[in-house]
């Protein structure tokens, strides 16, 4: 069962994503900020990461930069999920695989995850 790490500071967003992804058959790990997210990524080495950009403690861009610079984590597909006006540019510059602007359709998230996890498993 693939594992998805949700790095998101808004409790209601994490809960909604956890419920949806669990129903799709994913194991879900959660972190409320970038620092917790880095620790969770190192501990669980998930199949994919959903990453908010605007969070306390360590912003998403710092977490993304750290993950991409860490050899055992850099292969993990990362989807930035953000309402930040420059999210797509930031995500591209830091090496995210995709960016979904909030609010986004859950079906778009599902389709992205499915394609990224399958692609990553065959690489």
pLDDT for the residue 119: 64
Listing DSSP states for 59-116 in one string gives -HHHHHHHHHTSTTTTTS-EEEEE--TTHHHHHHHHT-SEEEESS--HHHHHHHHHHH
pLDDT for the residue 9: 95
Which domains, ranges and CATH numbers included, belong to the chain? 3-118 (3.40.50.2300)
CA distances from 123 to 58, 68, 117, 119 (A): 30, 17, 10, 6
User: For residues 35 and 57, is the Cβ–Cβ distance under 8 A?
Assistant: yes
pTM to 2 decimals? 0.93
pLDDT digits (tens, 9 = 90+) for 75-107: 999 999 999 899 999 899 989 999 999 999 999
């Amino acid at each position: 069962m693939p594992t998805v790490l949700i790095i998101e500071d808004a409790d209601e967003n994490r809960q909604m994503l956890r419920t949806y992804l669990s129903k799709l058959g994913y194991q879900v790990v959660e972190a409320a900020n970038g620092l917790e997210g880095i620790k969770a990524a190192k501990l669980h080495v998930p199949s994919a990461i959903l990453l908010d950009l605007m969070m306390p403690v360590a912003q998403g861009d710092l977490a993304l930069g750290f993950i991409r610079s860490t050899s055992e984590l850099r292969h993990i597909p990362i989807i930035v999920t953000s309402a930040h006006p420059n999210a797509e540019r930031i995500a591209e510059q830091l090496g995210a695989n995709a960016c979904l602007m909030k609010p986004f359709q859950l079906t778009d998230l599902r389709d992205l995850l499915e394609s990224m996890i399958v692609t990553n498993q065959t690489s």
